[in-house]
Amino acid sequence: MSRFPLTRGVVDRFVAGEQTIDAVTATRRLADLGLMSTIDHLGEEVRDTGAAVETTKAYVRLLEALRPLGFGDKAEVSVKLSAVGQALDDAMALDHARQICEAARENGSTVTLDMEDHTTVDSTLAILHALRTDFPDTGVAIQSYLFRSEADCRDLRDTRVRLVKGAYKEPSSVAYQKKSEVDRAYVRCLRVLMSGSGYPMVATHDDRLIAIAETLADGRSDYEFQMLYGIRTDKQLALVRSGANVRVYVPYGDDWYGYFMRRLAERPANVAFFLRSLGGK
Ligand code: FAD
């Protein structure tokens, strides 16, 4: 879905490819390096039922392609509920997510629900709750920039929770705006999760927060670090060498625009990289 001309190389830095086979190949390569995967079929804010059904089928096809490789929970999937119909009807999104959870379970694997903008949090947590009745290992992302998240972490202390800072532009009525406040909130949430009985997934590229997570873990090994495909690969490998569990978020598919723009917004250096490549350098 090109909205302006982009060289394939630019997008390839952050996206594994367009086809199921590209996601499978990336997962195998990461596994060879000792890295686990959570695979995201790109797309969001689907406005028609047909597209929601197609996304659901794409996840099921992906999980079927992974099945014979026997990765088990080392290759799970990440799902944006807005891509499977949340904006149209919560019941439809739940039904589609359930189909993906079933396919994941056949692989001995599971699903993590991505968290999108703040207007979707209540709905996402309600769908998580419903899914966990049959699929108790289903996880969810929680964003430390939201004021509500520390309380949400307390409610989810027995759950697989991926803690992130948050990637959407949110108003000051609901979210911390300063990086230092978001970071401090991240540590508070992490403290809650590390003292719970769930499975914390520490999703950040921030060295300081990674070090704090290691300290707060205080000897527990049932947690993992997560980073995005193509970002700080050196750090991912260093953590693996140190004995940590590390999972890479692997996006694939042709609807890369929203994902790619959020990655640019996070870091001026990525914009420079992008502009250089447009200039052919
Ligand atoms: P930052 O303070 O942004 O960065 C710390 C350091 O990391 C930077 O100084 C830089 O060295 C490096 N770095 C950070 N970002 C980049 C980049 N793009 N390119 C190169 N270097 C970089 N957000 C959501 O809102 N919902 C989700 O469901 C969600 N899922 C995620 C899943 C995973 C596995 C990860 C890693 C992130 C996810 N995010 C999600 C995005 C997250 O909210 C942040 O926007 C993103 O991770 C950047 O924050 P940071 O913690 O890395 O810290």
- Please give the ipTM for the structure prediction: 0.95
In a domain, 4, yes or no: no
pLDDT at 280 over 60: no
Nearest ligand 1 atom, CA 228 = 36
pLDDT at 4 over 50: no
CB atoms under 10 Å from CB of 32, counted, come to 8
The pLDDT of 142-163, averaged and rounded, is: 98
Does residue 206 carry a catalytic annotation? no
In a domain, 5, yes or no: no
List the CATH number of the domain containing 224.
3.20.20.220
The pLDDT of 65-70, averaged and rounded, is: 98
Distance between CA 234 and CA 229 in Å, rounded?
Answer: 12
In a domain, 280, yes or no: no
In a domain, 107, yes or no: yes
Indicate the pairing of strand 224-228 with strand 246-252: parallel
In a domain, 1, yes or no: no
| Ligand 1 pocket, Cβ-based, cut-off 6 angstroms | 114-115, 141, 143, 162, 164-168, 203-206, 226-228, 231-232, 249, 263, 266-267, 270
Distance between CA 151 and CA 190 in Å, rounded?
Answer: 12
Distance between CA 85 and CA 69 in Å, rounded?
Answer: 30
In a domain, 3, yes or no: no
pLDDT at 18 over 50: yes
In a domain, 23, yes or no: yes
Annotated catalytic residue: which of 162, 183, 247, 255? Answer: 162
* Structure confidence at residue 1 as a pLDDT band (50, 70, 90): very low
Evaluated on CA atoms 227, 25, 7, 55, the torsion sign reads negative
The pLDDT of 133-143, averaged and rounded, is: 98
**Chain centre to alpha carbon of residue 244:** 18
* Structure confidence at residue 158 as a pLDDT band (50, 70, 90): very high
Distance between CA 49 and CA 205 in Å, rounded?
Answer: 35
Does residue 114 carry a catalytic annotation? yes
Q: Which residues form the domain of 113?
A: 10-275
Distance between CA 208 and CA 242 in Å, rounded?
Answer: 16
Nearest ligand 1 atom, CA 262 = 45
28 touches 66 (CB < 8 A): no
Closest CA to ligand 1's atom 43: 166
Q: How many domains does the chain have?
A: 1
Distance between CA 62 and CA 71 in Å, rounded?
Answer: 13
In a domain, 101, yes or no: yes
